[in-house]
């Protein structure tokens, strides 16, 4: 991005710190990208602040995804990519989760667009989002076992598919 | 869905299963529609019929091998997929791409944008009953695919854009071919407009159909022509310029009506803008100059050097047996695909294979707004609304 991106980054970090000193666990600067690591318990509050604060105005949630760092702990790393259309700025909110308890607050109440993004993460990584209105599998069949994008799931999948009955059951519920 | 699950819970409504083999769902999208007479009460999209695990497969390939997988995601925009993936890896590596290669990339993705919009216009029109537009659009698309074949040897899955630049030197005779296309195309766009823009049937089928407010569109993370037709001029090429787009002179067409007709007008205007960009790119591409970055150990050396220099031969061998290892870190890059913001997130752990590759698929995220567009409309308008978001199921399901 532009040379002023590190200045912009400090604006975001400062703004969040002045609101709540605990809001930021760490700020990572890499290749002109700002990552703000947020403690899981404050995740939704920080997201709400990013959207509503007049200095930040991150009105578009563009992407949300997960990284599995198995066998390192904390194992899961959720990345939410935010865009501020009026300020022409981007930032990444990151939250780290342990394999014991991969649960985090859903951001659907902040950005309704998080709905399918979080369903995809739930489907492929098995992360649970509290407060999500419709947490079902989205790409895989409802009766699929396991979470394919986890590192302990083999790339070629498991070969022992059932020999009788329905192979895949797709959603029949609205 | 049983009757008890329906909104009203009475026999007043019925549930209709649309797809996954319905031709107007543009692939294998299934929608469960709850209908009250002909009015849609509730719509629930059901996806995943084309899920191929591309993101998982990328983790098992070296950085360069994964390029071929990206082609197969959004099959109407393979070059754009190549571009966003390569740019993300280049960002991880901190690699600077030569200007000439950047302009060639712009030329290719803009041609791709036109061809993608042509497929969209043709199929959208055929969905709404205008058969002839489809034939015209595919006639012109064929010309673009011939240009791609000239450049890369392939019509669709080109894998032409590579990490650090492009795969091949532009072929002899590329300029006359592109120029011929540029001369022909503006009048052809006029032809489509003559068939549709003031066509009363077309207007009845698209005007005031599928409205979404700009606030809702942003809240639902919509991007691309769908968002621009709601009056929000958000285009990555202008807002966060990449690949030297800041040097090009073009407009971002917007409308405010935010209905199917407005989205049609935006896309047609975008085709004309893309023609402008292609024309400028053609002038900017010099006849001589590098087409890939100079980075031993990452970018394969020239064949000529391989035959004369020992180091080049070793690097070549190492790149194709082991791959290369970017420093640990994460990079997110977004480009403007014909459908909206196409993003690529790549995480590296310092090994020759990516730790994680994720694509922010605009079709997937725009499709999320479909219930908002169709609920309260007639069932026939569902077809218009699906067409107007311009989804590619290969990208939705990945």
Q: DSSP labels for B100-141?
A: HHHHHHHHHHHHHHHHHHHHHHHHHHHHTT-HHHHHHHHHHH
* B29 and B149, same domain (yes or no): no
Contact A172 B1 (CB under 8 A): yes
B27 & B94 share domain: no
Chain B residues closer than 8 Å to A90 by CB: 240, 332
* Chain B residues closer than 8 Å to A67 by CB: 330, 347, 355-356
Residue A75 lies in a domain: yes
**For residues B80 and B368, is the Cβ–Cβ distance under 8 A?**
no
Contact A65, A77 (CB under 8 A): no
Whole-number Å distance between alpha carbons of B186 and A16: 50
Residues in chain B closer than 8 A to A113 (CB atoms): 219-222, 365, 368
- A22: helix, strand or coil: coil
Statement to judge: residues B177 and B41 lie in one domain: no
One domain for residues B59 and B33: no
Pairing status of strand A33-37 against strand A89-97: parallel
Q: DSSP letters along B354-376, please?
A: -SEEEEE-HHHHHHTTHHHHHTT
- Within 358-387 of B, beta carbons closer than 8 Å to A belong to 358, 360, 364-365, 367-368
Number of domains, chain A: 1
Q: With contact defined as beta carbons under 8 Å apart, do A62 and B334 qualify?
A: yes
d(CA B99, CA B163): 14
CB contact under 8 A, A63 and B34: no
Residue A145 lies in a domain: no
Distance between CA atoms of residues B14 and B11, nearest Å:
7
Q: Are residues B100 and B38 in the same domain?
A: no
Q: Considering the domain boundaries, does residue A65 fall inside one?
A: yes
Helix runs in chain B, H state only: 54-59, 67-71, 78-93, 99-127, 131-152, 174-196, 200-206, 214-219, 225-228, 236-239, 260-284, 303-308, 310-321, 362-367, 370-374, 379-389, 393-397
Chain centre distance of CA B308:
41
Would an 8 Å CB–CB cutoff place B232 in contact with chain A? Answer: yes
Separation between Cα atoms, residue A64 and residue A78, nearest integer Å: 7
Report the chain A residue with the minimal C-alpha distance to residue B356: A67
**Spatial separation of the C-alpha atoms in residues B59 and B69, rounded to whole Å:** 11
Q: What is the DSSP code (8-state) at residue B250? A: -
- Residue A28: strand pairing partners: A35
- Per-residue pLDDT tens, chain B, 398 aa: give them: 444 455 555 568 888 888 787 766 677 888 888 988 888 988 899 888 888 889 999 999 999 999 999 998 888 999 999 999 999 999 999 899 999 999 999 999 999 999 999 999 999 998 888 888 999 999 999 999 999 999 999 888 989 999 988 988 899 999 999 999 999 999 999 999 998 898 899 998 898 888 999 999 999 999 999 999 999 999 999 999 998 899 999 999 999 988 999 999 999 999 999 999 999 999 999 888 888 888 888 888 888 888 898 888 998 898 888 888 999 999 999 999 999 999 999 999 989 999 999 999 999 999 999 999 888 889 888 888 888 988 888 888 88
Residues B8 and B107 in one domain: no
Q: Cα distance from B5 to chain A (closest Cα, Å)?
A: 7
Band (A173; pLDDT cuts 50, 70, 90): very low
- Residue B30 in contact with partner chain A when CB distance is under 8 A: yes
* Omega within 30 of 0 (cis) for the link into A71: yes
Which chain B residues in 67-126 lie under 8 Å from chain A, judged by CB atoms?
91-92, 94
In chain B, residues 120-179 whose CB comes closer than 8 Å to chain A: none
Q: Tell me if A147 is assigned to some domain.
A: no
Judged by phi (left if over 0) then psi (alpha if -120 to 50, else beta), residue A165 lies in: left
First to last CA, chain A: 43
Q: Which residues of A touch B398 (CB under 8 A)?
A: 139
B-chain residues near A137 (CB < 8 A): 48
Range of the domain at B207: 54-397
- Statement to judge: residues B204 and B161 lie in one domain: yes
- Domain for residue A47, yes or no? yes
Does the CB of A148 have a partner CB in chain B at under 8 Å? yes
Q: Spell out which residues of chain A touch residue B55, defining contact as CB-CB under 8 Å.
A: 124, 149
CA distance A56 to A12: 7
Q: Which domain covers residue A48, as residue numbers?
A: 5-130
Residue-level pLDDT at B2: 46
pLDDT band at A19 (very low <50, low <70, confident <90, very high): confident
CA distances, A62 to each of A68, A92, A133, A153, B256 (Å): 20, 10, 19, 27, 22
Non-local CB neighbours of A116 within 8 Å, separated by 6+ positions: A138, B364, B365, B367, B368
Residues of A in contact with B53 (CB under 8 A): 148
A41 occurs within a structural domain: yes
Structure tokens at B188: 């052809």
Looking at the structure, tell me whether residues B41 and B59 fall in a common domain. Answer: no
Q: What is the DSSP string of A123-159?
A: HHH--EEET-TT---SSS-TT--S-TTSTTS-TT---
* Domain membership flag for residue A171: no
Residues B229 and A79 sit within 8 Å (Cβ to Cβ): no
- Contact indicator for A116, A133 with CB cutoff of 8 Å: no
Residues facing residue B347 across a β-bridge: B330, B356
Tokens 């970090």, located at residue = A13
Same domain, B37 and B64: no
Q: Which residue is listed with tokens 């120029």?
A: B179
Q: Other C-beta atoms within 10 Å of B30: how many?
A: 19
Q: Are B340 and B223 in contact (CB under 8 A)?
A: yes
Q: Is A65–B355 a contact, with Cβ atoms under 8 angstroms apart?
A: no
CATH code of the domain in which A70 resides: 3.30.460.80
Query: Domain count of chain B?
Result: 2
The whole-number pLDDT of residue A8 equals 61
* Chain A residue nearest residue B49, CA to CA: A139
Could B345 and A90 be called an inter-chain contact, meaning their C-beta atoms sit closer than 8 Å?
no
My answer on whether B105 and B24 are in the same domain is: no
Check B51 against A31: CB less than 8 A apart.
no
- Confidence (pLDDT) at B3: 45
A137 assigned to some structural domain: no
Q: Which of A63, A69, A138 sits opposite B48 (nearest CB)?
A: A138
Q: Which residues contact A47 (CB under 8 A, 6 or more apart)?
A: A80, A93, A107, A110, A111
CB contact under 8 A, A138 and B332: no
- Tokens linked to B19: 């797809």
Integer Cα distance of B38 and B151 in angstroms:
49
Cα A59 to Cα A86, B126, B150, B156, distances in angstroms: 8, 36, 43, 36
Predicted pLDDT at A160: 58
User: Residues 33-72, chain B: which have Cβ within 8 Å of A?
Assistant: 34, 42, 44, 46-48, 51, 53, 55-57, 59-60
Task: Give residue-wise pLDDT tens across range A22-74.
Answer: 878 888 888 888 888 999 888 999 998 888 888 888 999 999 999 998 888 88
pLDDT of residue B323: 87
pLDDT digits (tens, 9 = 90+) for A113-157: 999 999 999 999 999 999 999 898 899 888 888 888 988 888 877
Per the CB < 8 Å rule, is B368 touching A59?
no
Q: How far is A17 from chain B (nearest CA, A)?
A: 24
**For the domain that residue B218 is a member of, what is the CATH number?**
1.10.645.10
Phi and psi angles of residue A46, each rounded to the nearest 5 degrees, phi first: -65, -40
- Residue (of B93, B43, B129, B25) closest to B383 by Cα position: B25
Question: What's the full length of chain A, in residues?
Answer: 174
Q: Do B34 and A35 touch (CB under 8 A)?
A: no
């Amino acid at each position: 991005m532009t040379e002023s991106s590190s200045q912009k980054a400090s604006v975001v970090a400062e703004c969040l710190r002045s609101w709540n000193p605990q809001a930021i666990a760490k700020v990572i600067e890499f290749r002109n990208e700002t990552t703000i690591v947020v403690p899981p318990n404050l995740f939704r509050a920080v997201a709400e602040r990013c959207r509503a604060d007049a200095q930040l105005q991150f009105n578009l949630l563009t992407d949300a995804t997960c990284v599995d760092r198995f066998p390192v702990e904390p194992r899961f790393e959720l990345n939410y990519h935010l865009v501020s259309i009026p300020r022409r700025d981007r930032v990444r909110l990151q939250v780290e989760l342990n394999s014991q308890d991969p649960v985090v607050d859903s951001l659907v109440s902040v950005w309704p667009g998080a709905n399918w993004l979080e369903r995809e993460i739930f489907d492929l990584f098995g992360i649970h989002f509290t407060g999500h209105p419709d947490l079902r599998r989205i790409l895989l069949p409802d009766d699929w076992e396991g979470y394919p994008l986890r590192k302990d799931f083999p790339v070629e999948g498991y070969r022992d598919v059932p020999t009788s009955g329905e192979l895949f059951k797709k959603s029949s519920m609205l | 869905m049983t009757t008890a699950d329906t909104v009203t819970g009475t026999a007043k409504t019925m549930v209709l299963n649309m797809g996954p083999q319905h031709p107007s769902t543009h692939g294998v999208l299934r929608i469960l529609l709850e209908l009250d007479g002909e009015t849609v009460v509730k719509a629930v999209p059901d996806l995943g019929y084309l899920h191929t695990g591309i993101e998982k497969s990328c983790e098992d390939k070296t950085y360069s091998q994964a390029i071929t997988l990206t082609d197969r995601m959004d099959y109407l925009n393979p070059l754009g997929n190549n571009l966003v993936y390569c740019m993300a890896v280049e960002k991880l590596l901190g690699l600077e791409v030569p200007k000439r290669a950047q302009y060639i990339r712009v030329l290719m993705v803009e041609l791709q944008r036109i061809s993608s919009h042509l497929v969209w216009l043709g199929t959208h029109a055929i969905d709404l009953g205008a058969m002839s537009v489809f034939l015209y659009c595919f006639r012109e698309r064929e010309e673009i695919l011939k240009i791609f074949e000239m450049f890369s040897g392939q019509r669709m899955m080109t894998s032409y854009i590579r990490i650090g630049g492009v795969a091949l030197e532009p072929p002899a005779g590329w300029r006359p071919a592109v120029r011929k296309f540029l001369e022909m195309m503006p009048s052809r766009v006029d032809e489509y407009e003559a068939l549709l823009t003031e066509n009363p049937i077309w207007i009845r089928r698209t005007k005031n159909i599928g409205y979404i407010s700009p606030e809702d569109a942003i809240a639902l993370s919509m991007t691309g022509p769908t968002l621009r037709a709601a009056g929000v001029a958000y285009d990555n090429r202008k807002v966060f310029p990449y690949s030297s787009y800041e040097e090009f002179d073009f407009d971002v067409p917007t409308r405010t009506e935010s209905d199917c007709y407005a989205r049609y007008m935006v896309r047609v205007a975008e085709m004309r803008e893309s023609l402008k960009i292609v024309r400028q790119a053609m002038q900017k591409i010099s006849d001589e100059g590098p087409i890939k970055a100079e980075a031993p150990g990452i970018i394969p050396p020239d064949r000529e050097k391989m035959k004369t220099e020992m180091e080049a031969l070793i690097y070549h061998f190492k790149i194709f047996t082991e791959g290369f290892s970017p420093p640990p870190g994460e990079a997110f890059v977004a480009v403007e695909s014909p459908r909206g913001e196409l993003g690529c997130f790549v995480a590296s752990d310092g090994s020759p294979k990516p730790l994680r590759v994720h694509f922010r698929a605009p079709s997937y995220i725009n499709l999320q707004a479909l219930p908002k567009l169709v609920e309260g409309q007639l069932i026939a308008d569902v077809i218009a609304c699906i067409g107007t978001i311009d989804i590619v199921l290969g990208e939705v399901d990945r």
